[in-house]
Structure 1
Amino acid sequence: MGREAVKVGDKVPDFELNRQDGGIFRLYDLLKKKNVVLYFYPKDRTPGCTKQACEFRDQYETFKEQGAEVVGVSSDSVDSHKRFERIYHLPFILLSDKDGQLRSLFGVPRKLGILPGRVTYIIDKKGVVRYIFNSMTKPLEHVSTAISVLQELEKEEELKHQEV
């Protein structure tokens, strides 16, 4: 029986995967310092995925201002990710989920049962999923939605500090 999909309000499972620079990425190491925008996408250098990656790149400073790091995941190889990063000057981490284990750990759905889905998770520093955006056909909305969710999280944090 498959694991249930990760939902809003769930504590996200920790994981380790290879980064495009050959290092090992561990989610909880990053969550100690930042919120994480974890986005699963179908394939490097396809039209929608390229558009989406370039939009994350173009808005990257905004994500940093919101105290967040962007992390892209697909089943492409580390070498494919290196090329993708180099061609489009991507400033964020790309992870190679070769066998799709992370995708199934999160329960990322497939489109028509075959295409890897396009899903973005906004995870706060406590490791809690605060928002999930699932849309195959709106790659750019993943970016704008992530920014507005992070702005909401920042407002929540400010309110908490004022109450203390």
Structure 2
Amino acid sequence: MEPGQEAPDFEAESSKGSVKLSSFRGKKVVLYFYPKSFTPGCTREMERFSELYDQFKQNNAEVIGVSADSISTQKKFAEKYGNKFPVVADKEKKIIASYGALNEKGTSAQRITFIIDENGKIVEVLRKMKKAEEHADKALEIVTKLSSSG
């Protein structure tokens, strides 16, 4: 998926109950994919999104994390680190695949972040940042710019 394209809708179980992407219309959504819960990079990334979560909310944005982990793993991961936003279990990798975020082996998600506008269009895609947690900072920067420009 690339900027300008419609973000594929999905409904899935998350650490905070069922999540449907289209139910966030009218808000910006930061949808980030990560390889595996409880690994160092993914943990730092989630913690950073959590630290910045209130600032995302101030900019009318929701954060959703997605990995191929099971729902029980996602709930434990979110609970252990006091996560404030939903992390989605995509064990069948349908959501990951629909965003073109599968790794080369097809076993898990790549670390990719999509910034989606209020109308469900992808406005920015973040790939290959130096550090996992930089996804959160860069996403917030983009969301803040979108808020001030429109």
TM-score, normalising length: structure 2: 0.93
1:118-133 paired onto structure 2 within 5 Å: 118-133=111-126
| Conserved 8 A contact 1:20-1:82 | yes
Identify the match of residue 64 of structure 2 among 62, 68, 71: 71
Matched residue SS, 2:78: helix
The structure with the larger Rg is 1
Amino-acid identity (%): 35
1:82-128 C-alpha deviation (Å, 9 max, x unpaired): 11111100000110001111111011141576553100000011001
Q: Secondary structure at the match of 1:61?
A: helix
Q: Does the C-alpha gap of structure 1 residues 115 and 75 become closer, same or farther in structure 2, counting only changes over 3 Å?
A: closer
Per the alignment, in what secondary structure is the counterpart of residue 42 of structure 1? coil
> Structure 1 residue 10 and structure 2 residue 14: aligned?
no
RMSD (Å) for aligned C-alpha atoms: 1.6
Q: Is the 8 A contact 2:68 2:108 kept in 1?
A: no
Match of 1:28 in 2: 22
Asked if 1:49 corresponds to 2:34, the answer is: no
Shift of residue 138, structure 1, vs aligned partner: 1.8
Tell me if 1:88 matches 2:76: no
Amino acid aligned to 1:135: K
Equivalent pairs, count: 150
Gaps of 5+ in 1: 1-5, 158-164
Q: Distance in 1 between matches of 2:25 and 2:89?
A: 19
* 1:59 match: 52
Aligned to 1:98: 91
Residue 143 of structure 1 is matched in structure 2 by: 136
Runs of 4 or more above 6 Å deviation: none
Matched-pair contact (CA < 8 Å) for 1:117–1:136 = no
Match 1:153 to one of 130, 142, 146: 146
Matched residue of 1:25: which SS? Answer: strand
Distance 1:153 1:88, change over 3 A: same
1:110 partner SS: coil
Query: Displacement, 1:31?
Result: 2.1
- Relative to structure 1, the CA distance from residue 77 to residue 137 in structure 2 (aligned partners, 3 Å threshold; closer, same or farther) is farther
